Structure 1
């Protein structure tokens, strides 16, 4: 995988910054071992894992991200909704 630059200029045609596009590309990769993804997040984006996922969650709510990577963004939105439902059910004492 090539090096990720930290340029954050927006592409007027997409509405996404270079970092936004890189995050979407990165998130579309398959990860076999969770630790390797966390290390790559730190190395490539110089972000904590928590901050990376905060940025990713904001990003997938944008129309620009949906237009850029529709299948990925829809999958990530579904996965997030599923996790939110599971947490809500647990809080209500319902079996998951």
Structure 2
């Protein structure tokens, strides 16, 4: 996505859902399917892609920054575990 392309209606709904999603993994997966009509795997793939989209960062700057930080921390933990 380019910096000038706006978020689709679905991507905007997905980000709004991410802000209010249940914290419990089981409840979150059920809510993803019920609310968005997609699998949890597809949700996480799309959310991860949105974290690199400037339009998503402009629409939900605090959420995107928090999720990017969490993604980077998980990646760093995996790198440290591999290098042992």
Please, what TM-score do these two structures have when normalized by structure 1?
0.78
CA RMSD for the aligned pairs?
1.6
More contact order relative to length (CA 8 Å, sep ≥ 6) = 2
Contact kept? 2:21, 2:28, Cα under 8 Å: no
User: Greater CA radius of gyration, 1 or 2?
Assistant: 1
Partner of 2:9: 18
Aligned residues: 81
Unaligned runs of 5+ in 2: none
1:17-47 deviation per Cα after TM superposition (whole angstroms, max 9, x unaligned): 1111111101011524221110011112222
Unaligned runs of 5+ in 1: 1-12
Please, what TM-score do these two structures have when normalized by structure 2?
0.88
Normalized per residue, the structure richer in helix is 2
Normalized per residue, the structure richer in strand is 1
In 1: Cα distance, 2:22 partner to 2:33 partner = 15
State the shift of 1:14 in Å.
Answer: 6.9
Contact kept? 1:14, 1:68, Cα under 8 Å: no
**2:77 is paired with a residue of what secondary structure?**
helix
